[in-house]
A and B are shown apart, each in its own frame.
Chain A
Amino acid sequence: MQLTQKNINNSNLLLKVNNLSVFFNTPEGNIQVVKDANFSLNKGECLGVVGESGSGKTQTFFSITGLLSSNGYCKGSAIFKGFDLITSSEEEKRRYLGKSIGFIFQDPMTSLTPHMKIGKQLSEIAIFHEKLSSKLAMERSLEVLDIVKMPKSRDLINSYPHELSGGMKQRIMIAISLMCRPELIIADEPTTALDVTTQSEILSIFNDLKSNMNIGIILISHNIGVIAETSDNVAVMKNGLIVENGSTFNVLTNPKDEYTKHLLSCIPPWLEK
């Protein structure tokens, strides 16, 4: 409660989501997969979103960014720097997408265009949004590959996605989200399917982005350990509802909701500090 009060006239406020609902038209009828979600995010902070598979985490953020499948639609508002992403037209939204808002997708294996070189997949964003020349955009690509700690980036920009490992593709996805120096990054399970070392490397990249570049991060995960390591606030989702929302410390040490308690009890004891 205190948290939302503080947010209302906070110039640090980056994203405020009010009463967001997501629906799908299916052959079996209309289904609602996100129910009246409310949350907010400040600059330079990280909001962790946890919840079991199918709880609606991904669709919540697809709806905000207009990436829902064609049978989906949404209601509510999502104010990004004073601009409502939900009611705006596709064209207006495109000015923000890829520029101020970067999206990192859940499945890096299939999320890169198979027939396009990595360098092009990165540079096209800056060419499009900032009208950079191909040469400058390519230099920008090398810079962001540096940020995500990709070695041999000069060879990398000439390779195709199928030539990269899963971890490398994951880093490329992060690099894509960084191309135009975003203010908000939505990272959908960026560390699943990675080994523990790579996972902690990537989490430390996020921590750097947050504190050094003042980027707001939304980190979706079903691994509460990952959330504990990076997030300032946590939202817990279950069956399309946000059942708990508050500072990471409060939620993890003093969970109010039964479901959160259950999630916490699932952490292996050796992970708790």
Chain B
Amino acid sequence: MRTNMIKFIVKRLLIAIPTLLVIIAFGFIMMRVAPGGPFTSERALPPEIERNIQEAYNLNKPIWEQFYIYIKNLSVGDFGPSFKYKDFTVNELILSGLPVSVTLGLSSIIISLFIGCFLGIVAAIKRNTYFDYSVMSISLIGICIPSFVMAPLLSLFFGLYLGLLPTSGWNGGNVLNLILPITALSLPQIAVISRMMRASTIEVLNSNFIRTARSKGLSPSYIVRKHVIRASILPIIEYLAPASAGLMTGSIIVEQIFGLPGIGRYFVVGALQRDYTLVSGVMILYASLLIALILVTDILRALLDPRVKL
């Protein structure tokens, strides 16, 4: 089992390298095809200065050579200098934004999983009761309202009208500052997860092996804990990677709205200002995170379901 697991992980990491290369190349080309460059501005620069800048950032070299240089630096973990934040490297910028984004993303995913699964299970057990109906209709609303609508509504209501919570800023990671952004990010995920969990739990509750468990006279709570959950949570595990992707894109907007100095904000600023290296760096980070998550998903699935072999 253990050696299998290590082999599996190594194999997947090796497959991840070409995947990442394709993503990097794609991003690289997309950025350069988009009109404008990092140093084009309203006021034309004197030609010598422009040439000097181009030279300093290798922009005068052919595009394939730029790509080669970029990959070569990446292979030693160097994401290059930021084109816009002149005194910083992309590594420094990402490292400064990482704590904010990781705190936001991890708490959102954990909160969404726990609340979503719990609501889904209870709704399935109490199906066709008022509890079930209210969870399902509220979650339908949650699915329909995206984070970028939810976020301003939340800050308007809890921040401005009620004055209960701060509407923006990181404030050193103060819990009060995190509540609104995490809520805005989690609500759509909670909605999706609770519906998925409800559906899969109902399916498991109707399965033959639960009938066997009931024929043993075991208590309902024991049956749910030991026989139902492990089977009904499998679709949620599959959903982990798409959910995280949703959270990442959500966080780009939510960080912007709540003025949080996370990676998502650098991504937006970088894209608007053609900061090639910064955007590529953030993109590579997101892609690697997703690839790692898919790997974790596969491992979790094998741990939960004995029929799945790595």
Chain A residues in the interface with B (C-beta under 8 A): 65-67, 69, 93-99, 102-103, 105, 107, 110-116, 124-125, 128-129, 160, 162, 173, 176
Compute how far the CA of A65 lies from the CA of B214 in the bound complex, rounded to whole angstroms.
9
Q: Is the CB of A124 within 8 A of B209?
A: no
Contacts of B305 in A (CB 8 A): 114-115
Known: A94-B218, A128-B216. 11 other contacts (CB 8 A): A96-B217, A102-B215, A105-B208, A111-B208, A111-B211, A114-B305, A115-B231, A124-B226, A129-B217, A162-B306, A176-B216
The residue of chain B having its C-beta at the shortest distance from the C-beta of A177 within the complex is B215
B219 contacts the other chain (Cβ, under 8 Å)? yes
Contacts of A116 in B (CB 8 A): 226-227
Compute how far the CA of A95 lies from the CA of B216 in the bound complex, rounded to whole angstroms.
9
- B215 interface neighbour in A65, A110, A113, A114, Cβ under 8 Å: A65
Q: Is the CB of B216 within 8 A of A98?
A: yes
Contacts of B304 in A (CB 8 A): 115
Chain B residues in the interface with A (C-beta under 8 A): 206-209, 211-219, 222, 226-227, 230-231, 304-307
Q: Is the CB of A105 within 8 A of B212?
A: yes
Q: Is the CB of A113 within 8 A of B231?
A: yes
Compute how far the CA of A265 lies from the CA of B63 in the bound complex, rounded to whole angstroms.
86
Most buried by A among B207, B216, B230, B231: B216
- A112 interface neighbour in B212, B222, B226, Cβ under 8 Å: B212
- A114 interface neighbour in B216, B222, B306, Cβ under 8 Å: B306
Most buried by B among A67, A93, A99, A113: A113
Q: Is the CB of B214 within 8 A of A97?
A: yes
- A128 interface neighbour in B211, B218, B227, Cβ under 8 Å: B218
Q: Is the CB of B209 within 8 A of A128?
A: no
Compute how far the CA of A102 lies from the CA of B217 in the bound complex, rounded to whole angstroms.
10
- B208 interface neighbour in A110, A125, A160, Cβ under 8 Å: A110
Compute how far the CA of A186 lies from the CA of B143 in the bound complex, rounded to whole angstroms.
47
Q: Is the CB of B214 within 8 A of A67?
A: yes
- A113 interface neighbour in B206, B212, B219, B222, Cβ under 8 Å: B212
Q: Is the CB of A103 within 8 A of B307?
A: no
Compute how far the CA of A114 lies from the CA of B231 in the bound complex, rounded to whole angstroms.
8
Closest 8 CB pairs of A and B: A97-B217, A98-B217, A98-B216, A103-B215, A94-B217, A160-B306, A110-B208, A113-B209
Contacts of A97 in B (CB 8 A): 214-217
| Sampled A-B contacts (19; CB under 8 Å) | A65-B215, A94-B217, A94-B218, A97-B216, A97-B217, A110-B208, A111-B211, A111-B212, A113-B212, A113-B213, A113-B231, A114-B306, A115-B230, A115-B305, A115-B306, A124-B226, A128-B219, A129-B217, A162-B307
Compute how far the CA of A262 lies from the CA of B116 in the bound complex, rounded to whole angstroms.
56
Contacts of B307 in A (CB 8 A): 114, 160, 162
Compute how far the CA of A99 lies from the CA of B212 in the bound complex, rounded to whole angstroms.
13
Compute how far the CA of A116 lies from the CA of B305 in the bound complex, rounded to whole angstroms.
9
Contacts of B222 in A (CB 8 A): 128
Nearest CB of chain A from residue B161's CB, rounded to whole Å:
44
Contacts of A162 in B (CB 8 A): 306-307
Compute how far the CA of A164 lies from the CA of B147 in the bound complex, rounded to whole angstroms.
48
Nearest CB of chain B from residue A189's CB, rounded to whole Å:
13
Q: Is the CB of A105 within 8 A of B230?
A: no
Q: Is the CB of A67 within 8 A of B211?
A: yes
